[in-house]
Each structure stands twice: as C-alpha cells, then as structure tokens.
Amino acid sequence: MGPDTLGVLGTGTMGAGIVQLAAQSGYRVTACDASVEALERAQVYVREGLYRFAEKGAFTEDEADSHYERIRWTTNPQELGDAPAVVEAIAEKVEPKKEALAALDALLPPDSLIFTNTSSISITDLASATGRPEKVCGMHFFTPPPLREAVEVPRGLLTSDETLERAKALVRSFGKLPIVVEKDVPGFVANRFLMPMILEACRLLEEGVASKEDIDLLVKKGLGFPVGPFELGDLIGLDVGLDVISYIHRELDEPYYAPPRILQELVRAGRLGRKTGAGFYDY
Ligand SMILES: NC(=O)c1ccc[n+]([C@@H]2O[C@H](COP(=O)([O-])OP(=O)(O)OC[C@H]3O[C@@H](n4cnc5c(N)ncnc54)[C@H](O)[C@@H]3O)[C@@H](O)[C@H]2O)c1
C-alpha cells in the first residue's frame, strides 16, 4: 500500500459513505467489515453513489468505475495492516471501539494514524486502548459523508499537533472543511446541538403536543432546517442516536439527556430507521 491508501474499518451507514468519498477523492481504499452482508450492502451503496455523482457530471462513468476498482473489500482486518491511516467506523459502543483500536494498534506500522468516526465517545478514552495515543484523533463525518461539506475533528488530550494537521489535510483532500474541536467533551459540538433537538422532538411527540409529521414540517418549513428531527433520526439510525444520547447522559450525568422511551422502544422493536426500512416512519 502506498501513502495514497486509506483503511476503513466498519462499512455500515457511515463507513460505506467514507469508502465512497475516499475512493472518489483518488485514494486506494481497504474496506473492512466483520459482516459479509454489511460489505455487500456497502458495495451496492458505493457503486450507486459513484454513478449518481457521474450522472451529475462530477466525473465520467468510466472514472466512476475506476474509483470503484480502487476499493478492496474484506472481512479480514489483517488486510488493513499496512495502511498509513485507518478510519474506524464501527458501532458507537465504548468497549468494542477500544478493542478495535487496540487490534489496529497491534496491526499497523508505528507511524500509521488511527482516526475514529465516533459521534460522542471520548477520543482520549479510545486512544488509551492503543500504545500511540498521540496518533489517534477524531474524524467525525456527517451523513451522508459524500454530500456533507464539513467534518468535525475532535482532538484527544494526547493527540499531537502533527496528527491534528494530518487529520485536517486528509479531510481537505476529500474536498471537505475540517472543523477542529479543541476539547474532548461528550458529543463534541455537533451532537450537543443535534441530540437535544431529537430529544425535544421525542418529548413533544410523547406528550401528544403535535404529530411527528407536523413537528418535522414545522422544523423544515417554519424554522428552515433542511430536514426534520424524526426524518434525521431515521437517517442517522435510531440505535446510533440512542447510543449517542445514552453516552452523553452517562458522561454528563444530566437528567436532561435521559433517553426518551419512544426511542428505546423503537430500537427494541428493531425499527432502526432507513437502514432497516422502518423507524419513526416506514420506508
Ligand atoms: N449514522 C450516522 O449518521 C453517524 C454520523 C456520524 C458518525 N457516526 C458514527 O459512525 C460510527 C458507525 O455508525 P454507523 O451509523 O455507520 O453504524 P452501522 O451500525 O450502520 O455500521 C457499523 C458497522 O460496523 C461493523 N462492525 C461492528 N463491529 C465491528 C468490528 N469489530 N470489526 C469490523 N466491523 C465491525 C458492523 O458490521 C456494521 O456494518 C459510530 O461510531 C457512529 O456513532 C454515525
């Protein structure tokens, strides 16, 4: 693998988008997921995504094909072993992420960087699972990664200035704007705005104040947001949203962040949003 190579661990909602973005930015990508089904879904997502960009004239169909061909798909994490940088995008759970980062640390050359797409979890804590905390940094993409213009870059307590600069350079090489978060706080900046919006929407719905359709409509047509809170929850994945809210709740010890019952029930029922065909809405 050359310096133009990027590893992506986890090819779910976010990982698939990051793989597409990296490939269309000219990187060779090693895309690794523990699940064959997740890899297959990501392959379809990336192929369709690249063709959509081609249709819009971003590049030709032949270029879309060659972007796709630069991706190597695998269930074997060993294949990430010579990547100069890996973006971790597995589930939003502390212990599995720490285990994955420790495994990457054991696998990667000493100067390789580890970026994590966590939406809320302490970078410092995740980095502590590795022997290279100065080379670990947050790289929080928004959904869908090929379309959103900015990437939040939260640094851990021990993230070096050099790693931060390399993180920003990588984000810029994707054509995106890196926005640094200097303090490693639960939820960083983005989810300290977003999650309260989803929380309030759930509470208003639970109290019967308005229907979900009307809440979404009001937020879009009245407040001018591009998407309503329930639509956004379904896009993010309600399991991911619940994990983020639960983590912030635990870490800040603020009753305000107690996960709404409706969110917990939908997740228990397997209604996780667009990715399962149903969440707050049916798809
Ligand atoms: N969904 C969003 O809108 C969003 C936005 C920004 C950041 N994030 C963050 O991105 C990360 C991934 O979220 P997602 O929505 O893509 O989740 P997801 O559930 O859609 O995908 C996670 C993928 O990781 C795979 N996986 C789990 N453990 C693994 C392991 N040990 N090794 C290899 N693969 C493994 C799963 O098979 C799955 O395909 C989370 O940290 C989440 O908080 C999500």
Domain end among 157, 181, 205: 181
For residue 194, give Cα distances in angstroms to 128, 197, 228.
27, 5, 11
User: Which residue is closest in CA terms to ligand 1's atom 15?
Assistant: 13
Do residue 114 and residue 146 come from a single domain? Answer: yes
Output the pLDDT for position 2.
Answer: 46
Output the pLDDT for position 3.
Answer: 52
Which numbered atom of ligand 1 lies nearest the CA of 103?
31
Output the pLDDT for position 243.
Answer: 97
Do residue 142 and residue 221 come from a single domain? Answer: no
Probe residue for ligand 1, chosen from 11, 18, 33 as the CB with the greatest number of ligand atoms within 8 Å: 33
Would 282 be classed as within a structural domain? no
Do residue 84 and residue 209 come from a single domain? Answer: no
What is the whole-number distance in angstroms between the Cα of residue 89 and the centre of ligand 1?
5
Domain end among 149, 181, 213: 181
Output the pLDDT for position 58.
Answer: 96
Domain with 98 in it: 5-181
Would 281 be classed as within a structural domain? no
CB of 187 within 6 A of ligand 1: the answer is no
CB of 233 within 6 A of ligand 1: the answer is no
What is the whole-number distance in angstroms between the Cα of residue 270 and the centre of ligand 1?
16
Q: Is 216 exposed, middle or buried (0-12, 13-18, 19+ CB in 10 A)?
A: buried
Number of domains in the chain: 2
Phi, psi of 186 (to 5 degrees): -55, 125
Output the pLDDT for position 127.
Answer: 98
Output the pLDDT for position 211.
Answer: 98
Among residues 191, 231, 246, 249, the one annotated as catalytic is: 191
CATH code at position 202: 1.10.1040.10
What is d(CA 13, CA 260) in angstroms, rounded to the nearest whole number?
23
Output the pLDDT for position 42.
Answer: 98
Instruction: Write the DSSP string, 136-173.
Output: EEE-B--SSTTT-SEEEEEPPTT--HHHHHHHHHHHHH
Q: Is 253 exposed, middle or buried (0-12, 13-18, 19+ CB in 10 A)?
A: exposed
- Residue 140: active-site member: yes
Do residue 171 and residue 32 come from a single domain? Answer: yes
Do residue 103 and residue 203 come from a single domain? Answer: no
pLDDT tens track, the chain, 283 positions: 445 899 999 999 999 999 999 999 999 999 999 999 999 999 999 999 999 999 999 999 999 999 999 999 999 999 999 899 999 999 999 999 999 999 999 999 999 999 999 999 999 999 999 999 999 999 999 999 999 999 999 999 999 999 999 999 999 999 999 999 999 999 999 999 999 999 999 999 999 999 999 999 999 999 999 999 999 999 999 999 999 999 999 999 999 999 999 999 999 999 999 999 999 999 9
Among residues 25, 88, 92, 140, the one annotated as catalytic is: 140
Among residues 88, 120, 122, 152, the one annotated as catalytic is: 152
